[in-house]
Amino acid sequence: MSSDTKPARWKVVVGYGAFALVAFILCMLLTFPYDMVRTRIISEAGQAGLAVRIGSLRPGLSGITATQVRVSKPPQPMTAETLAQLVNGEGLAGAAELGEAVLIDSVAVRPTLFPPGLAVRASALGGTALVDVGLLGDTKVRAEFDKLRVSSGNLPAFLGVDVDGEINGALRLTMPKGKSPEPDLSLANGELSLDTQGLIIKGGKASIPMGGGNSMAMDLPQVALGALVGRISFEKGMGTVQELKLKGEDVEALATGTLKLGKRLEYSEPAMDVNLRLDPEAQKRLGLLAAGITIFPPDKKDPSFRAAKLSGFLNKPMFLPRR
């Protein structure tokens, strides 16, 4: 073969390189341990007290993709047998044993190089959640939530409250690893911002936290909460409320103070002064809920608001009168 008909050397190198890359990707997709990944996800969630069910786990353009994911909080701790059933996907119990589940259409996970870490894209609640997790050194989390609909994905059944509204927001956190290889949320630095529009409670049942650690169960009437806007900055686990306000047709609330992060989110401790004001017409309609708010004293600076103090933990908050 004459030199004129031979392909250029760079073309040969690129061709072999492309072939090797395609062969590597195909081999990885065909031999990827999907069952091992499924087992790890379900087991880790089980240790955190959550039941996770995955419809399918497969390769996709956005990475390894799990579809029809259901996440629930069982009313009782799961047995080893139940956890094994979740892993195997056989003979699964329903909501009575595993609790009502939040439905997530798909979750795609892929590695990132700059910086080294993981990128997660979830389609849920009619919107999109994007999460980037940096794994080199301190754990860095960057999350964005766009047009999540709280009436979707079985979330009202999960919460036990018929609720609607749109959630937008962003989270930036850097968590040091310290002595433990696990990131320490209680020492995190960063910021949380929220922009919730058209929030409305249409009904349901709820336990309203009262003084002394007690809760009062009641049927919820329709309450137009409106827009919730907030920004909390965190430094070494201590969150300072820069802005946190709720304003709707029926209620208005303003909060100041702190949120001390725990190693687990549910054990984070709010210490906030909260001012509440009900619309006069709504006060007549809300019955016991309105009566619960009127036990708080008037705010000293603006008597049109009722003065409360939020304390306890996120998983067991307490509202007390503020003196």
The tens digit of pLDDT for each residue in 182-219 reads 778 999 999 999 999 999 988 877 666 555 555 666 77
Neighbour-count burial for 202-221, b at 16+ CB within 10 Å, e otherwise: eeeebebbeeeeeeeeeebb
The H or E element that residue 46 is part of is helix 34-47
Distance CA 170, CA 232 (A): 11
Q: In residues, how long is the chain?
A: 323
**CA-to-CA separations, 102 to 124, 125, 221, in angstroms, rounded:** 9, 9, 23
* 63-72 vs 101-113, strand pairing mode: antiparallel
Residue 165 has pLDDT above 90, yes or no: yes
Q: What is the pLDDT of residue 64?
A: 81
Q: What is the pLDDT of residue 81?
A: 82
**Higher-confidence residue: 73 or 262?**
262
Task: Tell me which long-range contacts 211-218 makes (C-beta under 8 A, separation of at least 24).
Answer: 211/318, 211/319, 211/320, 211/321, 212/318, 213/312, 213/316, 213/318, 216/288, 216/292, 218/288, 218/289
Q: What is the pLDDT of residue 171?
A: 93
pLDDT tens for each residue of 261-309: 998 888 999 999 999 999 988 888 887 778 878 889 999 999 999 999 9
Distance CA 262, CA 72 (A): 22
